Amino acid sequence: MILNVKNVSKSYPQPERGNLQVLTDCSFGISKGETTAITGQSGSGKTTLLSLIAGLDSPDSGSVILDGTDINGMSEDKLARFRARKTGMIFQQFHLMPHLTAEENVKLPIEILKSDRIEEKALSILEKVGLTDRKDHMPGQLSGGECQRVAIARALVVEPKVLLADEPTGNLDVKTGDIVADLLFDLVDSSNMTLVVVTHNPDLASRCERELTLAKGKLV
Amino acid sequence: MKLFLRLAIKEIFKNRKFSFFFILNMSIGLTGFIAINSFSSSFNKYMENNLREILTADFMIMSSRPLTAEENKITEEILGKNRKESRQTVFYSMVKGKNSSKLAQILAIDENFPLYGKFHVDSNNSSTINSTIQKTPFALSEKDLATSFGLKRGESIQIGSKHFKLNNYIIDSDKAVTSIEFAPKIFIGLDQLKGTGLIKYGSRVRYIRYYMFPDGTDIKKITDKLKKKYENFYNEESEIRIFDSSSVNRRLSRIIDNFAGYLGLIAIGALFLAGIATAYLFRGYLNLKLKEISILMSIGATRFEACFLFFGQLFFLGFLASLLSILFTAFILPVFPVILKGIIPTGLNISINTTSTITALTMGTAGAMIFCLPVIARVYNVKPLTLLRELKNSNGSVKHKVMTGLGFLPAFILFLILSTILTDSILKGSVFTIGFLLIMVIFGLFGWMIFNGCKYLSKKSGVILKIAFRNLYRNKLSSISCFVTISMGVFLINMIPQIQHGIQEEIERPEGLKIPVFFLIDVQEEQLNPVKDFIKEQNHNLSNISPIVIGRITSINGEGFYKRRKKMDQKSRRRYRRLEYNFSTRDELGNSENIVEGIPLTKDKWDFESNKPFEISLAKSFADNNKIKIGDIMSFDIQGMPLTGKVVNFRKVRWNSFQPNFYMLLQKGVLDDAPKTYLASISAIKVSERQKLKNMIFDNFSNISVIDVTKTIEQILRITDKLSLSIKFMAYLAILAGLVSIYSIARHEAKKHEKEINLLKILGSGFNDIRKITSFEFGFIGLTASVFAIIISFIFSYGVSFYFFDRLWSFQWEYGVFIVIVTTLICILTALFATDRVIRKKAIILLGS
Amino acid sequence: MKLKNLIFILLFIIPVSSYGGTKVLFLGDSISAGQGVEKEEAYPSLIDEILKTKGYNVKVINGSISGSTTASALSRLKWFKRAKIDILVLALGANDGLRGLPVIKMKENLDKTILYAQKSGMKIILAGMMIPPNYGKSYTKSFKKVYIDLAKKYSVVFIPFLLEGVGGNPELNQADGIHPNRTGQKIIAKHVLKYILEQL
């Protein structure tokens, strides 16, 4: 098991309405190289689940064990580095640094991690996503699909154990979405990477080996 | 870290507009700071030089006998070799002219006199005249003296048993602001004193040594050391007195101190205005950047690294701003005297001083970070989680709140340190700082109240006002912060003219004041009417006639006055023991004084038979020095008669009115029968008539001393006029800089509204309606903020004047109104400008963003 | 009203006839007023003290004013008239001299004062003053002569020089070199006391 989620519950305080229970006692495990889709209706708690897996938030109870380490006990700074090394994140809104070029955006995580062969790694991954000729462009000069490809490159450049994606095609038109999804799955397959993708796009979900469905905060 | 520094620099270049406005604001503030500080130190130096020239030395020591070998040793030891010295022997003597003898003050000078300044004689040998009088028995005096002795140029006067030739006349010899002398001065060579036969046992002579030290020597340290050493040597009051340039005229020195404090206040004000404005800009910038921080954190950056990124930016921006401001100042300072001819005293050479340059550099770089620290604390509230979900972190965590609170600490400490340095007292500095903090809190609370109130206003208004008011209260936090920032700005801006006027009023010549030419002293009671008539016959008027009765203060609230004094002197510095005081009484207070505390003296005559104490009015300064409060009982001994009175009011005396003023005024009737003399003055006497009138008074009333005070007064007025102009100029400069800050705040705020404006446009609002809404919104913030700030600044400036500037305060509503109008207009116009820019843009561009 | 007040004040300061004691009035300037020392340390007070310890029934009134000149002497003396002064110590003139006022005028003022005092039945002790030599020979000489002449003219008791042994000695004077310090005042007291004792 590369990722093990055990009895995780999460609630958020709501002003004037008490706590809103988002996740209730969720447990599942994901093996290395597996691709998993988390689906469910809006408000079912899938994004919350993803944020807990990514260590961007901590559960009220239960634990998330990533590559053998319980991430909940870690200090924030340590977690930041751990997360950067073990996971890659792809967001619906791409979230690129607006003032950095495509190449600079891709380099950024490995620069933060002080990896070696930064230049080489970045260029190679840019080539894989097919953006070598656009590497000096700013995000503002790239199309949505290109931006997401940069984001994928940025997520993969650290060679993470687990790739986490939040509606990676949600902000793209159908055609571009398909291209990006193809690229994503190709890259994941070729590197035998574990992928967890949150989506309510049934096409995207169906491309995964496994589908976990959430309803009202519970796995069904 | 290198990575984040690199990123920081990149960010600066990518966000050019923000960087530009940030640097602009910061450098305006810093330029103000350096310029004002440089001006202040140049001015201080100029004033110091002025006072030094009046004293002719850095300091002098005076004794009534030559120093003993022991004393000489002590003196030599402390002063060291690195100095220039000039010796002088001063005494009064009856000097004989052609057919009359008159009192003159003889100043026997050596060849080094004067150490500072020049000796001016009415021929072209000014520079050699001193060496001439050393070798030959020549005397130098003003022309008036020769005339009064009936002497022509080249004739001799007799001093003691020696004749001195009067070949040259001195021009402008009398720079004495120090003391008013009874008799005209005659300069002779120190070596020529021999043969006069005047200096022998029993002679009353003052031996003076003037000292000049290289530039930059800490004179105060030397004099303090010397004073202490003498005091230890004598175990009590030293027989040797030391005067430095600050004791030339204490009041003048105090005024100059006040002026320096005032400039310091403006400098702090300018810096803090800039600080507030830049912090405000930065806050907006950081708000836009929060997402990027999230991204960085999601890809592995720690919080600290994210903060570092912004610190790095602030560091570079601050550094650039300070470099720029030093450059600005270098350009501005030389232009000051050119543009402001007549406003700045001529001969004032303004140069950038190194200390303020260094301060500017550190303040610019560290200051930018310090001011923005509370904003940076926001980074601690950033959660990368927001990248996944549209989370509103409206209620920050406790940790974030603590961090924000801690973020204010360095700014607070900086403020505390600066104001402590500038006011020269930790207590005053703390009062100042806490006051400021309090003001900010008050502004915040008031803003909160106003924008909550907008909720109700919006319900009762028409469409446009409704939208405007709703915008204001829905964006309450942003409205409040804009409100606080603008009101802080207005507050600081208005403080300056407010305090300026207080100080200036003290300095400026009172309007319609007749500056006295002659003071007549020792007019006997029975002489009063004859003198009055006599002066009237000469077509002049005797004015300011004040009775003087001399007496002692025996006790205050039953405690012996002398003992009390002694107790206080031990705590403070040893003062010259004064035990006898002048008492006076007057029917009406003059225009040079007014009651600052307590009630006026009753017009009723005091009844000796009543057992009630009579009423006393004290000069505020006297009361402060002696720690006397209203209601205290003071007992006097007036020529053998014990008298008891009660303090009912304090007067503030305008010292530069040059009217006879008294520490103690007693109720009518108390002094009626006591033996007294009168002091009076005569003003408006033509220069050509002065000597004649003086002689005539002397011939008819020989006991009355006539003192010509014009030179002293002119000297002081010259200095105070310059101060007064400089103060005004500084106030205008500060207002200008402040308005620029307000402009950039308003501009930023308006920019933030672009999205809303655009939305309204898309929804089909008429352009005029949009304009109305935005101008109303901004006008409302500007108006309420400035009105409220003005009110608070009136109160606060009163406090500041009260605490720091001897209660010099006067109500200046004109400036307030002006500032309110200008601020409101700036807010409205900048908002309109921003609106128009948005309106002119094509909708499609707006959609894209 | 004014007169009534005046009488009242005088009754108030000087319990006039209730004591049959001798009343001594010092009419002087800053030296007698004790400028720079406490009133109790000025020589008139010291004399009062000594006389009292010696058992004399005396009352010393110090009517001295710093800075005063002879021009004020007569009016001031009149102010004390109702106190029924027995002995007048007239110690004025130093300020006239220091300010270089004409000696003729000074003589006139003193003359009038002595005349008035004699008419009022006071015994007069005239304290001679001297002006520091720096004022010039002729002035100091004529100044000194005023006292000698007046003493002769009215055959009053004459102290040739009030500051005998004190004037000019830095040890006995304050920093200004002209006002006696505590020790100086004591010497003056001793000096003047002799003349007063003769009159008691």
Cβ within 8 Å, pair B295-A96: yes
What is the structure's pLDDT at B176? 44
CA of B105 vs chain C CAs: smallest distance (Å)? 10
Residues 6+ apart with CB under 8 A from B131: B111
Closest CA to C32 of C17, C47, C16, C51: C47
More confident residue, B478 or B60: B60
Give the residue on B whose Cα is nearest the Cα of A109. Answer: B299
**What single string gives the DSSP state of each residue in B663-727?**
SEEE-TTSSTTS--EEEEEEE---HHHHHHHHHHHHHH-TTSEEEE-HHHHHHHHHHHHHHHHHH
Of the candidates B292, B300, B303, the beta carbon closest to that of A109 is on B300
More confident residue, B687 or B157: B157
Average pLDDT over residues B64-86: 86
Exposed/middle/buried for residue B81 (C-beta within 10 Å: 0-12, 13-18, 19+): exposed
Average pLDDT over residues B276-283: 78
Of the candidates A50, A80, A97, the beta carbon closest to that of B300 is on A80
* Contacts A–B by Cβ distance under 8 A: 72
C-alpha–C-alpha distance, residues A129 and A121, integer Å? 13
Structure tokens at B76: 């030599």
Whether residue B342 is predicted with pLDDT greater than 60 in this model: the reply is no
Average pLDDT over residues B431-440: 80
- Chain-centre distance for alpha carbon B462: 51
Structure tokens at B790: 């003005």
CA of C5 vs chain B CAs: smallest distance (Å)? 6
Whether residue B173 is predicted with pLDDT greater than 60 in this model: the reply is no
Whether residue C159 is predicted with pLDDT greater than 80 in this model: the reply is yes
Residues 6+ apart with CB under 8 A from C13: B640, B641, B642, C61, C83
Average pLDDT over residues B159-178: 73
CA of A99 vs chain B CAs: smallest distance (Å)? 6
What is the structure's pLDDT at B393? 47
C-alpha–C-alpha distance, residues A212 and B51, integer Å? 90
User: In the structure, what pLDDT confidence band is assigned to residue C12 with cuts at 50, 70 and 90?
Assistant: very low
C-alpha–C-alpha distance, residues B260 and B722, integer Å? 13
What is the structure's pLDDT at C8? 42
More confident residue, B720 or B34: B34
Of the candidates B93, B237, B609, the beta carbon closest to that of C136 is on B93
C-alpha–C-alpha distance, residues A19 and B83, integer Å? 83
What is the structure's pLDDT at B348? 62
Average pLDDT over residues C134-149: 92
CA of B577 vs chain C CAs: smallest distance (Å)? 6
Domains and CATH numbers, chain C: 21-197 (3.40.50.1110)
Backbone φ and ψ of A195, nearest 5° = -130, 130
Closest CA to B750 of B822, B823, B827: B827
Whether residue B576 is predicted with pLDDT greater than 60 in this model: the reply is no
CA of B846 vs chain A CAs: smallest distance (Å)? 15
Whether residue B2 is predicted with pLDDT greater than 80 in this model: the reply is no
For B707-741, b/e burial (b = at least 16 CB within 10 A) is bbbbbbbebbbebbebbbbbbbbbbebbbebbbbb
Whether residue B181 is predicted with pLDDT greater than 80 in this model: the reply is no
C-alpha–C-alpha distance, residues B31 and B336, integer Å? 13
Closest CA to B67 of B84, B89, B42: B89
User: Which sign does the torsion angle of CA B212, B216, B220, B221 carry?
Assistant: negative
What is the structure's pLDDT at B778? 83
Of the candidates B3, B297, B387, the beta carbon closest to that of A80 is on B297
* Contacts B–C by Cβ distance under 8 A: 156
Question: Taking all residues of chain B, what is their mean pLDDT, rounded to a whole number?
Answer: 78
Whether residue C6 is predicted with pLDDT greater than 50 in this model: the reply is no
Active site residues of C: 30, 176, 179
Exposed/middle/buried for residue A174 (C-beta within 10 Å: 0-12, 13-18, 19+): exposed
User: Which sign does the torsion angle of CA B235, B240, B241, B243 carry?
Assistant: negative
At A27-75, the pLDDT tens digits run 999 999 899 999 988 888 888 888 888 888 888 899 999 888 888 888 8
Structure tokens at B684: 């408006």
What is the structure's pLDDT at B807? 58
What is the structure's pLDDT at B337? 65
Residue count of chain C: 200
At B505-562, the pLDDT tens digits run 666 655 556 678 888 888 888 888 999 999 898 888 888 888 988 888 888 898 888 7
Q: Touching A: which chains, 3+ CB pairs < 8 A?
A: B
* B70 three-state secondary structure: helix
Share of chain B above pLDDT 90, in %: 5
Residue B705 in contact with partner chain C when CB distance is under 8 A: yes
Whether residue C5 is predicted with pLDDT greater than 60 in this model: the reply is no
Q: Give the global pTM.
A: 0.65
Give the residue on B whose Cα is nearest the Cα of C83. Answer: B640
Residue C105 with chain B: CB contacts under 8 Å: 702-703
- Going by DSSP bridges, is the β-strand pair B677-683/A218-219 parallel, antiparallel, or unpaired? unpaired
What ipTM was assigned to the predicted interfaces of this complex? 0.88
User: In the structure, what pLDDT confidence band is assigned to residue B178 with cuts at 50, 70 and 90?
Assistant: very low
The amino acid present at C62, given as its one-letter code, is N
C-alpha–C-alpha distance, residues B769 and A183, integer Å? 50
Whether residue C117 is predicted with pLDDT greater than 90 in this model: the reply is yes
Do chain B and chain A touch with ≥3 beta carbon pairs under 8 Å?
yes
Residues 6+ apart with CB under 8 A from B165: B136, B137, B138, B139, B154, B155, B156
C-alpha–C-alpha distance, residues A103 and A138, integer Å? 9
Cβ within 8 Å, pair C134-B92: yes
Residue B64 with chain C: CB contacts under 8 Å: 170, 173, 175-178
Of the candidates C36, C170, C178, the beta carbon closest to that of B579 is on C36
Of the candidates A50, A51, A83, the beta carbon closest to that of B300 is on A83
Q: Touching B: which chains, 3+ CB pairs < 8 A?
A: A, C
Residues from B in contact with A at Cβ < 8 Å: 3, 7, 10-11, 14-15, 291-292, 294-305, 383-385, 387-389
What is the structure's pLDDT at B502? 67
The DSSP secondary-structure symbol of B170 reads B
Determine which helix (DSSP H) or strand (DSSP E) holds B280, and give its type and residue range.
helix B250-298
Strand partners, C91: C28
Average pLDDT over residues B227-240: 74
Q: Which of A75, A77, A147 to mutate to test the interface with B (most CBs of B within 10 A)?
A: A77
Exposed/middle/buried for residue B56 (C-beta within 10 Å: 0-12, 13-18, 19+): buried
User: In the structure, what pLDDT confidence band is assigned to residue B235 with cuts at 50, 70 and 90?
Assistant: low
Q: Of A65-74, B167-176, C50-59, C181-190, which range is least confident?
A: B167-176
Cβ within 8 Å, pair A57-B297: no
Residues from A in contact with B at Cβ < 8 Å: 47-48, 50-51, 54, 56-57, 76-77, 80-81, 83-85, 89, 91, 93, 95-100, 108-109, 111-113, 154, 158, 166
C-alpha–C-alpha distance, residues A165 and A182, integer Å? 14
